[in-house]
Amino acid sequence: MKTVLFVCTGNICRSPMAEALFADMVKGRADVRVLSAGMGAVDGQAPSQQSVEVMAELGLNIKHHSSLALRPGLIDQATFIFTMTTQQRDVLHALYPESAEKIFALHDLEPVASHESPDIADPIGATVDVYRRTRDQIRAAMPAVKELVVSTPVAARYRVALAGDHGGVEMKESLKAWLAARGMPFTDLGSCSTEPVDYPDYAYKVAQAILTGAADRGVLICKSGIGMSIAANRFPGVRA
């Protein structure tokens, strides 16, 4: 399942229009989910009347849309994120650098004429004609969005082998919860106790999981990280 998230400021005009336009474009595809949110949104607000009106002209009903504030969880869930402006894109890149490769401004995919602003300006408070132009500007970008979304394969989820000595138990438990929340498969190879153990034994377990193909990546935890790295690097084909 690919999740496409459109982002604007208040999630009451531009991004709901983008959500509806793209949802209509991929209608019938069970492998694509479409959402929208706002960087400054308040949950539960209705869409602007003008946006409802101009979307109805295309036979699309957004009057039951309810605004949603952008949250880290939405960033994590999204396969692709499309903002309305360069500034919004750049802010999200700064706030979520680990997700920057999946965050685009709409004009990144559909460049506009050089004499025009590349951004999709906020029409809030403007006339219906302005909303209509905004709708059409967003609509023009949708084929390029679809091409990217449909043609990009879903990224493989790494199988992760986890291990730590007695000094790494607490951090390992937190990491397990983080991986589980994101649907990432993992194997806990110990230790599960704060009783003293020998860290090379656990470095060996993860190294073997990598070398045998049981895991794609490994995470080793000890108090400094140095001992685990040295122990794991004794195995040809493993680099910590």
Instruction: Please check the confidence at residue 154 and state whether its pLDDT lies above 80.
Output: no
The string of DSSP letters for 37-79 reads EETT--TTPPPPHHHHHHHHTTT---TT----B--HHHHHH-S
Going by pLDDT thresholds of 50, 70 and 90, the confidence category of residue 215 is: confident
From 172, 209, 215, select the one nearest 191 (Cα to Cα).
172
Bigger pLDDT: 216 vs 49: 49
Instruction: Please check the confidence at residue 158 and state whether its pLDDT lies above 60.
Output: yes
pLDDT number for residue 54: 97
pLDDT tens digits, 77-118: 899 999 999 999 999 999 998 889 899 999 998 765 555 678
pTM attached to this predicted model: 0.67
Going by pLDDT thresholds of 50, 70 and 90, the confidence category of residue 46 is: very high
Q: What are phi and psi of 216, to 5 degrees?
A: -95, -30
Instruction: Please check the confidence at residue 156 and state whether its pLDDT lies above 70.
Output: no
pLDDT number for residue 112: 57
The string of DSSP letters for 155-213 reads PPPPPEEEEE-GGGHHHHHHHHHHHHHTT--EEE-S--SSS---HHHHHHHHHHHHHTT
In the chain, % of residues over pLDDT 90: 58
Going by pLDDT thresholds of 50, 70 and 90, the confidence category of residue 199 is: confident
Written as one letter, the residue type at 130 is V
Tell me if residue 216 is catalytic.
Answer: no
Instruction: Please check the confidence at residue 187 and state whether its pLDDT lies above 60.
Output: yes
Catalytic residue among 76, 90, 108, 122: 122
Instruction: Please check the confidence at residue 76 and state whether its pLDDT lies above 90.
Output: no
Positive or negative, the CA dihedral 44, 49, 51, 57 is positive
Instruction: Please check the confidence at residue 147 and state whether its pLDDT lies above 60.
Output: yes
pLDDT number for residue 90: 96
Instruction: Please check the confidence at residue 225 and state whether its pLDDT lies above 80.
Output: yes
Catalytic residue among 14, 89, 119, 135: 14
Chain centroid to CA 84: how far? 16
The predicted model gives 202-212 an average pLDDT of: 90
Q: What mean pLDDT, rounded, does the chain reach?
A: 90
The predicted model gives 189-212 an average pLDDT of: 88
Tell me if residue 71 is catalytic.
Answer: no
From 124, 160, 164, select the one nearest 16 (Cα to Cα).
124
Tell me if residue 14 is catalytic.
Answer: yes
